[in-house]
Amino acid sequence: MIGRLTGTVVVDDPGAPLILDVHGVGYELSAPLGTAGRAAPGPDQTITVFVHTHAREDTLELFGFASELDRRVFRLLISVPNVGPKTALGILSALPTPELARAVQEQNVGRLTRVPGIGKKTAERLLLELKEKLPQVDGPVAPTAATPSTAKPDDAKRLFGALTSMGYRPAEAERAVTALAERIGQAPLSTLLREALARLTP
């Protein structure tokens, strides 16, 4: 079982697996949006990601996370009935661990229902199941703000790709990206994604 990988990012595109080159071997990992940017940097432009190995009868799938904390939260999420790995990744893409912890502490159903694929009943179940478990996870509750210098020049494209990969129609994604045009390049991608989801959710 693989627990951690250190390598060079080969592919990091929204809607596509993160591909990490480790000594010439390309590992394909499903990961929350922004994982590569948050992962601990190493020498020679490498990063370290924590890995959850998901074994099924017909396949072996790897999930990558920027920290051990994120991996632990992912494992908590998939322990909730009817919440699979894909749904858990969608939650952590839209609500990074500090934001999710706050939503659980506040029992904020609305914040979770903004995540595509999460209805009111599922959100209520998540809040109930995580209420006693998530506070046991050590880590900051308040998110760390990124500086403008951390933003990438193709953030508009990445935001559009993230929204369409979550199931929004291209026209809807384009409308949200256009509405946030002035903030693109100034705010971290995870923040832009949450703001876009808020605009797209009735």
Q: What is the CATH number of the domain that holds 152?
A: 1.10.8
Q: Do 37 and 61 reside in the same domain of the chain?
A: yes
Domain hosting residue 158, numbered range = 148-200
| Closest by Cα among 112, 102, 97, 94 to 159 | 94
Is residue 120 domain-resident?
yes
Domain boundary among 136, 171, 190: 136
Point out the domain boundary residue: 103, 136, 169.
Answer: 136
Residue 142 lies in a domain: no
pLDDT of residue 202: 59
Q: Using CA atoms, how far apart are residues 52 and 106, in angstroms rounded to an integer?
A: 28
Question: Would you say 180 and 33 are in contact if contact means Cβ atoms under 8 Å apart?
Answer: no
- What's 35's domain CATH number? 2.40.50.140
112-148 per-position pLDDT tens digit: 988 888 889 999 999 999 988 875 555 444 433 333 3
- pLDDT tens-digit series, residues 22-72: 999 999 999 998 898 888 888 788 999 999 998 877 788 999 999 999 999
Query: Residue 141 domain-assigned?
Result: no
Query: Do 122 and 161 form a contact (C-beta atoms < 8 A)?
Result: no
Q: Are 188 and 35 in contact (CB under 8 A)?
A: no
Section 152-168 average pLDDT? 74
Task: State the total domains in the chain.
Answer: 3
Regarding whether 76 and 60 lie in a shared domain, the answer is no
Residue 63 and residue 17 in contact, taking contact as beta carbons nearer than 8 Å: no
Residue 191 inside a domain? The answer is yes
pLDDT value of residue 109: 93
Average pLDDT, the chain: 83
Residue 139 class from Cβ within 10 Å (0-12 exposed, 13-18 middle, 19+ buried)? middle
**pLDDT at residue number 138:** 52
pTM over 0.75: no
Do residues 130 and 163 share a domain? no
